[in-house]
Amino acid sequence: MKFFVSCAKGLEYLLADELVALGAAKATATIAGANPEGTLADAQRAVLWSRLASRVLWPLAEFDCPDEQALYAGAAAVPWHEHLREGDTLAVDAHVSGTAITHARFAAQRVKDAVVDVFRAQGLERPSVDVEAPGLRLNLSLRKGRATLSVDLGGGPLHRRGWRAEQREAPLKENLAAAVLLRGGWPALYHEGGALLDPMCGSGTLLIEGALMAADVAPGLGRMQAAVAAASGVPSAAAAVDAGPWAQSLAAIAPAASAEPASTPPTRWTGFDAAGWNALLAEARTRAQAGLAALRPVFHGSDNDRHAIAAARGNARAAGVEAAIVFEVRDIDALPASPHPRGLAVCNPPYDQRLAADSGLYRRLGDALRRTVPGWRASLLCGDAGLAHATGLRAAKKYQLFNGALECALIVCDPVCPPQREAIAPRELPEGAKMVANRIERNLRKLKSWRSGEGVTCFRAYDADIPEYAAAVDVYAEDGGEQRTFLHVQEYAPPAEIPEDDVRRRRRELLAAAREAFKVPAERVAMKTRERGKGGSKYGKFQLQGQRFVVRENGARLWVNLFDYLDTGLFLDHRPLRRRMAKEARGKRFLNLFCYTGVASVQAAVAGAASTTSVDLSATYLQWCADNLALNGLGGTSHQLVQGDVLAWLEAERHRYDVIFCDPPTFSNSARADDFDIQREHVRLLQLAMARLVPDGVLYFSNNFRRFRLDGDAIAAFADVEEISASTIPPDFGRNPRIHRAWRLQHPLR
């Protein structure tokens, strides 16, 4: 039998492995969950033992559902008196997608109506609705015209462990905490003698979950105990035990195996196997007794908030593991060296997406871990990839997880501080690499005065100066932090007659020369190279590291990513044009068409533009633009982001602007808009853009299509045109003066 187990996005493959380990015949990861195959006993075991699951759904019916009538009919066809006792309570959770039924609450109401009508038709007492603690919680999934009705076997969210007495703001869910621990190799590391540290522990979720995992306590045991307490109307015994050795709280969480276990099943669905459930509980209680009695006190948590530490102690007491965990009020800068040679450092550092993230805090965290637990492994759930990078720790593995709706980056470092390699005598560069290195150094000397005078930290250092080594080498200097230097190397496609062995040798020599000239390690060099294949040359697969960092240009701080995309987020050749536009936009309204990552908008805003509007079809680029604005403390209604096709948006737009920047792609065949070709569309595009200018406004138009021909006669009808290409090419692109062309347009009658 196939059933469905849901989880937070990013945990799917971990969950599938866990379900197989718990007895499922097999399990396939899917979006936000897994589809295991197994028996009802396997599903009930997942309810009690899964540390990663959000819900376990056992299907009752599946049917085509093109509309509301079909939904009601399909639900009414189920013999509900076989699943729910007369007069019991009911709740329905619904998740819908598609155009037929768009409101989840309406869909849930229609399913409830069908259940009630089935009972009434048979002369039975109808069930009542109880959304908090229903006897039967149903789940409706409606997708692509297909409906599935399932029993929620856990009766509610499974991330709740039953011990959380008090929580601070934005608590980490327990199943996400389990994923952080499992990705870090816990509890296997515990059984090998390791310890667990959380230097910013908050309310203690990671440490408590780690202790319960190490003690082999089923995550559903505390939840069942809380259900017993709720049913009896008395406070949970687990929350009321006195502080002291954790064995004293076993009576609350794991009564003696010989005692008759109190059992409140998670659901009153009549198909639930109560006898099998009680057997699972008895086994789990026996295992918990043994594990808690043997639990070693190797858990350490600290936080600079004394209220958080008080909450963490209360939660640990409720979970029965207080005596195993040492909690201290301590700042991360005062973290002492650990006496344990091995262990796992875990942390979910604070991150408030409404405010500018504090990368300095993450840097201090990385420094503290390197100083105090250099030989340990670390598993850190960070606000985003940029903050993960700010720790300065070298990640062996990186994962994308979601804490609710917030996308996070989980990095696993093993170890925190890699051992220093023995010094190796530098290898002699081959003759070709020496030539390239010498040319780069000569270029650096030539550009030094210009770079210093204009504060340029991101620039082109080499552009196929030696034809046999045909590549561009761009330098990106990190702003703040460790101020590291990164290189972005783009290899131009070689002629087809060049032997592949020569291509590879020259590539190796070029990289060796660049690393030697800038003294950078290999991990800070991004190489983009074209590979020969059917249909011509194409770019090879990128490294997809999720690694971005901050640079500075024209007074603005900007995110760049050298590794994951064809472009980095910053077109270096447009540096002078962006500076010119930023000066002109001071106190004015600035419009950025085909805005890409919004660099021109950000620089105009930093220079004092009254407002900016940035238009692009790509949600990825607009989010990048939003991140750049936030990085500079900019936001609000003065800086608008618009996702849409530029031509269609211009036709509908009625506002006017003082300065417009239009830098379109050569062509685009996006599925979300009509095909675009700059040569074919440029007259229409410029006419629409000019219509959005105030009478004395200016439009800057640029593109990098080498064979582009401006239709001057057509444009003369609505604009005065001046080509300004030469003044917009910076000195570092002197070898490639046609990297782009640019024009300045104004109304002929102003």
The predicted pLDDT at position 363 comes to 87
CATH code for residues 174-220+230-413:
3.40.50.150
Which of 3.90.950.20, 3.10.440.10, 3.40.630.10, 3.30.2130.30 is the CATH number of 4-152?
3.30.2130.30
For residues 536 and 473, is the Cβ–Cβ distance under 8 A?
no
Half-sphere exposure of 440 (CA within 13 A, CB side): 28
Cis peptide before 187 (omega within 30 of 0): yes
Cα 128 to Cα 529: distance, rounded to the nearest angstrom: 65
Location of structure tokens 């609350």: 252
Would you state the structure tokens that stand for residue 453, as one six-digit string?
A: 């005078």
Domain boundaries, the chain: 4-152, 174-220+230-413, 431-539, 571-746
Neighbours of 537 (CB within 10 A): 14
Is 174-220+230-413's fold the same as 571-746's? yes
Q: pTM (2 decimals)?
A: 0.59
The predicted pLDDT at position 199 comes to 97
- Four-residue CA torsion sign, 54, 60, 62, 65: negative
What residue type is 108 in one-letter code?
A
- For the chain (750 residues), the mean pLDDT of every run of 10, in chain order, is 94 95 94 95 98 98 95 97 95 90 93 96 94 95 94 95 69 94 96 97 96 97 76 47 37 42 81 96 96 97 94 95 96 94 94 50 92 96 82 89 84 83 61 94 95 95 95 93 84 88 90 92 82 39 63 95 89 97 97 97 97 94 94 91 94 96 85 77 96 96 94 94 96 93 89
Q: Quick one: which of 241, 204, 225 has its CA closest to 162?
A: 225
SS3 745: strand
What residue type is 623 in one-letter code?
Q
In which order are the strands placed within the sheet that holds 136-143? Answer: 26-30, 33-37, 4-6, 55-64, 146-152, 136-143, 89-96, 128-129
Q: What are phi and psi of 306, to 5 degrees?
A: -65, -30
**Domain covering 431-539, topology:** Transcription Regulator spoIIAA (3.30.750)
Q: Does domain 571-746 have CATH number 3.30.465.10?
A: no
The DSSP letter of residue 308 is: H
Distant-in-sequence contacts of 513-517, Cβ < 8 A, 24+ apart: 513/429, 513/433, 513/434, 513/435, 513/436, 513/437, 513/440, 513/469, 514/436, 514/437, 514/440, 514/462, 514/473, 514/487, 514/489, 515/487, 516/429, 516/433, 516/437, 517/437, 517/440, 517/441, 517/444, 517/461
* Distance between start and end Cα atoms, the chain: 75
Neighbours of 620 (CB within 10 A): 10
Instruction: Name 19's Cβ contacts closer than 8 Å, sequence gap at least 6.
Output: 5, 27, 34, 36, 38, 42, 46, 50
Neighbours of 436 (CB within 10 A): 27
What residue type is 558 in one-letter code?
L
